[in-house]
Amino acid sequence: MKKIILIGFMVLSLTALMFAGGRGDSPSAGGEITLTFMGWEASPLETEAVKNGIAAFEKANPGIKVSYTPTPQDGYLAKMLSALSSNSAPDVFFVQSGDYRSFASRGVLLDITDRFNANYPLDDFIDSSRTIMDINGRVYGISSCSVSPIIYYNKDIFDKYGEPYPSADPAKVWTIDEFRAVAKRLTRDGIYGCYGLETNGIMINVQVISGGGSQFTVDYNSSIYNSPQTKNVLQIIKAIRTEDKSMPASSTLENVGMNAAQMLQTGKVAMLMDGSWALQQLSTLGFPVGIAPVPSYGKPVTTGQAHLHSIAKASKHPEEAWKFLQFLSGMEYQGQLCKEGLWLPNRKSLWADGPNGIDGWYDSARLGPYYRQMKNYLINVVVEPSAMQKAPILGDIINEEQDKFFKDDENIDTILANIERRSNAELQALR
């Protein structure tokens, strides 16, 4: 019996050590430590790129190993919350921008303000990234990059029907009426003119902002979504699908077993609104893809946000973790992922001319001339509102209610009133 108890105690002790490893393993006899690192797997290509970056970091830092755990994106937040509540969080981890303020308020993120200020000029970060990182003058994570909604198009379809390509020059961006007219003309022979305008909150938000609407007041303490501007944009988006018949429902993709990128590649859709991250996959599919700004409802604009890299407050190796954070923010890592089309730089110096700037990461074969032409457009992005929300439930409320309008044909005025009422009740409860 004593033997069984002893074995059980040893198993429990080993388990405890394994979970403690989430906060950084103790140094080995050779002085090597292992940092634990967790992020979500948006695609196998992204995971491969992260692992390649880790290998480069380990080679440059022989005393530090990084154990990476990619997690399905849908279950990532729940897994992180569980790890944090059980004091077994990884040393370094992804934090979605919309969860960043919530995590910081829980006191689970290491305050890196002094380290950050000693190594980075905050003004080098584009305004959207700087705004997201800064919480009352403190920094708890470094913005990984910038990602923005943009338009992709299949050049073969435009060529086939003699349509001019949308311009990559933000000064010549199509209005939503021009975009809508082209989408209608290209909806023929089993082709839909466009897709993606209503698929997720980020794509909807940029259109609402372009049309003069807003989710929140400037201090993000109140919802002001129920406005004529927001109503107009949402009605136009829905009309493109239901009246023009130029855009398929999301169920269409499910029925044919394709994702949006494959629909564009195979000519099922002519134009796709998606995040800039989609270029990593699109550039590997072997068809002529073009890029353009989001159509304007009045103001040519796109939004910017991205996950942050943060250190657990409970990490046993904050200095080594900080060194890893610096690597994740540098040209060798961020620059490579920008080169592959997954990310956009979030620092002005990386957009500047020269080998230490845009020439150091720009791959014309993959990115074409587009990002160079859209440079100022992509630097001067406005903050994606969900990145500044006071609580993640606010995004859930908006998505839930908007689905009732887009998918269930519920009254738009009722939907907008419900969003504002429910959001303000949650915001009031946080005060």
**Residue ranges of domains in the chain, CATH in brackets:** 2-146+305-382 (3.40.190.10), 149-301+390-430 (3.40.190.10)
Asked whether the predicted pLDDT for residue 49 surpasses 80, the reply is yes
Query: How does pLDDT run across 115-152, given as a tens digit for each residue?
Result: 999 999 889 999 999 999 999 999 999 999 999 999 99
Query: How does pLDDT run across 185-223, given as a tens digit for each residue?
Result: 999 999 999 999 998 999 999 999 999 999 999 999 999
Asked whether the predicted pLDDT for residue 8 surpasses 50, the reply is no
123: left (phi over 0), alpha (psi -120 to 50) or beta: alpha
Question: From CA 175, how far away is CA 13, in angstroms rounded?
Answer: 64
pLDDT at 15: 32
pLDDT at 4: 34
Asked whether the predicted pLDDT for residue 330 surpasses 50, the reply is yes
pLDDT at 17: 31
Query: How does pLDDT run across 333-388, given as a tens digit for each residue?
Result: 999 999 999 999 999 999 999 999 999 999 999 999 999 999 999 999 999 999 99
pLDDT band at 27 (very low <50, low <70, confident <90, very high): very low
More confident residue, 391 or 29: 391
Question: From CA 428, how far away is CA 431, in angstroms rounded?
Answer: 5
pLDDT at 59: 95
pLDDT at 344: 96
Asked whether the predicted pLDDT for residue 51 surpasses 60, the reply is yes
* Gyration radius of the chain over CA positions: 23
Burial of 313 (0-12, 13-18, 19+ CB in 10 A): middle
Highest mean pLDDT among 75-84, 85-94, 177-186, 391-400: 177-186
Asked whether the predicted pLDDT for residue 84 surpasses 90, the reply is no
pLDDT at 30: 54
* CB under 8 A, 24+ apart: contacts of 101-108: 101/135, 101/388, 101/389, 101/390, 102/390, 102/391, 102/392, 103/140, 103/310, 104/135, 104/138, 104/140, 107/313, 108/84, 108/312, 108/313, 108/314
DSSP state, residue 334: I
The phi and psi torsions of 74 (rounded to 5 degrees) equal -65, -35
Query: How does pLDDT run across 221-266, given as a tens digit for each residue?
Result: 999 999 999 999 999 999 999 999 999 988 877 788 888 999 999 9
pLDDT at 22: 41
Q: What is the mean pLDDT of residues 30-41?
A: 88
In this structure, are residues 234 and 204 in contact, taking their beta carbons and an 8 Å threshold? yes
pLDDT band at 6 (very low <50, low <70, confident <90, very high): very low
Least confident of 22-36, 78-92, 269-283: 22-36
In this structure, are residues 105 and 389 in contact, taking their beta carbons and an 8 Å threshold? no
Q: What is the mean pLDDT of residues 164-181?
A: 97
Burial of 1 (0-12, 13-18, 19+ CB in 10 A): exposed
The total number of residues shown for the chain amounts to 431
The tokens for 12 are: 């429990």
3-class SS at 130? helix
Average pLDDT value for the chain: 90
